[in-house]
Amino acid sequence: MDERTVRRIVDMRKRQRRSLREIAESVGLSRERVRQVLIERGVSPQQPSPENNRKKRLQLTEEQLRQRYGCTSEELDHIQGNRIMEDRASPVGLYRTQRNRSLWLKRGWAFTLPTWWALWKAHWPNRNRGNLVMVPLNTAQPIGPGNAQIITRSEVMKQWHARK
């Protein structure tokens, strides 16, 4: 196994707090082999405590969650799972990134976290960083339910070349 893959495994566990299953799927190894690599590098293969994640979420009131994400804490827990809020590779992290980018580009944003997750949920296990993207169907309207699709970057480029 090359050093780059080993560093990637360690990064996904320590910084991104991904599960052994998620790491294994991402790098194409078994969970057991991922666990062995982590132990060899002195990284605990134990799942990070969900209690710390819960505490971070509880810093937001229910009203703040509704305003920011359009959901309750139970919905957030269901979508986010055991990941910390600051993890940019988590559902909430990607939601914030896409929302901020859309607003920065002045496209508008009409998704709540649950409606955004309804679109992404089926694609999430197959999502490799940078492979799948969410694009508007009509760029003249805000991106939101009914005006977004998830496709690969190569499909985006094919559409772009077809317009020229």
- pLDDT (tens place) for every residue of the chain, 164 residues total: 888 898 888 888 887 778 888 888 888 999 899 989 888 888 777 765 554 554 455 577 888 889 989 998 889 888 887 777 777 778 888 899 889 988 888 888 999 999 999 999 988 877 766 588 888 888 888 999 999 999 888 888 888 788 76
DSSP bridge partners of 149:
135
Residue 42: the pLDDT is 81
Residue 114: the pLDDT is 95
Contact 45, 14 (CB under 8 A): no
Query: Positive or negative CA dihedral for 46, 7, 53, 132?
Result: negative
Residue 56: the pLDDT is 53
Domain residue limits, the chain: 3-40, 50-163
Residue 25 Cα to chain centre, angstroms: 15
Burial of 79 by CB count in 10 Å (0-12 exposed, 13-18 middle, 19+ buried)?
buried
50-56: long-range contacts, CB 8 A cutoff, minimum separation 24? 50/82, 52/84, 53/80, 53/82, 53/83, 53/84, 53/85, 56/84, 56/85, 56/86
Residue 129: the pLDDT is 60
Residue 55: the pLDDT is 47
Torsion angle (degrees, nearest 10) of CA 20, 16, 105, 103 = 100
